[in-house]
Structures are given as C-alpha cells and as structure tokens.
Amino acid sequence: MCALCGVLGGKGDWSDSASAPEAFASRTERPTRMRERQVRTRLLNTVLRHQGVSVKDWSGNAYLLTGRTGRTAIVETVAEIWPAVERISGRVCDPLDERYLGTLGAGTGAPLP
C-alpha cells in the first residue's frame, strides 16, 4: 500500500464503536470515527500531562506525541503510546499504577472525562 492510501484509509482502533457496534448500542448520539478519536486524544492528554507529554491526532491515522524538550514520536495505536512516552520523557510510564490513578483527579475534585 502506498503511503497516501495508508493515511487516507487508516486503521480502526479496538475501541472504535465501528469495531464492535453491539458494545455501544446504548449510545444516543451517532458516533463518528473522528469524534471518537478526539475524545480519545483528550483523555490521553489528561493521562499523559503528568509525564510532560502531549498527544495530537495526526491525519486521523496516527498520534503525534511531543515532550517538554521537543522530542517527538509518531505512533499508530494507543498500545504504542506507552513505550513512546517512556522514550520521550525518560521515565517509566505505567498508566494503571494505583498511586498515579489517584492523582489524576486530585485538586479538581472532578472525575476523568
């Protein structure tokens, strides 16, 4: 496949409602792939703020990660984000660490989006 077809076609994520519409049958609004990517990107930015890494959607096909020092990485899936964050930040990133999860809503009193 040429690079242009890869960017335009894109791959679905396991968490996209198109991958398993029966799992998302109770939704009232009609989800779109781009809307779901936007929500996922906002959530990732909330989780990765502590690591000093920001995430942007790149052409609806990948994620662009940028660290405080300007180091960047392009990854295709959410699963690839965690090792890339460790390379960019130079720190271990365990998004399921209980102490870390406890700090995500600290100070705001609000739950994660």
Position 99 in a domain: no
Position 59 in a domain: yes
Position 11 in a domain: no
Residue 12's pLDDT band, with cuts at 50, 70 and 90, is low
Position 85 in a domain: yes
* pLDDT above 60 (res 3): no
Query: What's the first-to-final CA gap in the chain, in angstroms?
Result: 36
Residue 43: which of 54, 33, 34 has the closest Cα? Answer: 54
Position 20 in a domain: no
Query: Tokens for 102?
Result: 């406890």
Q: Which H, E and C letters describe the chain, residue by residue?
A: CCHHHHHHHCCCCCCCCCCCHHHHCCCCCCCCHHHHHHHHHHHHHHHHHHHCEEEEEECCCEEEEEECCCCEEEECCHHHHHHHHHHHHCCCCCCCCHHHHHHCCCCCCCCCC
Mean pLDDT over 47-76 rounds to 93
- Residue 56, pLDDT score: 96
Position 106 in a domain: no
Position 82 in a domain: yes
Position 74 in a domain: yes
Q: Please report, for residues 22, 27, 106, the alpha-carbon distance to residue 34 in angstroms, rounded to integers and kept in the order given.
A: 19, 16, 29
Q: How many domains does the chain have?
A: 1
Full residue range of the structural domain in which residue 83 is found: 31-91
- Residue 11, pLDDT score: 59
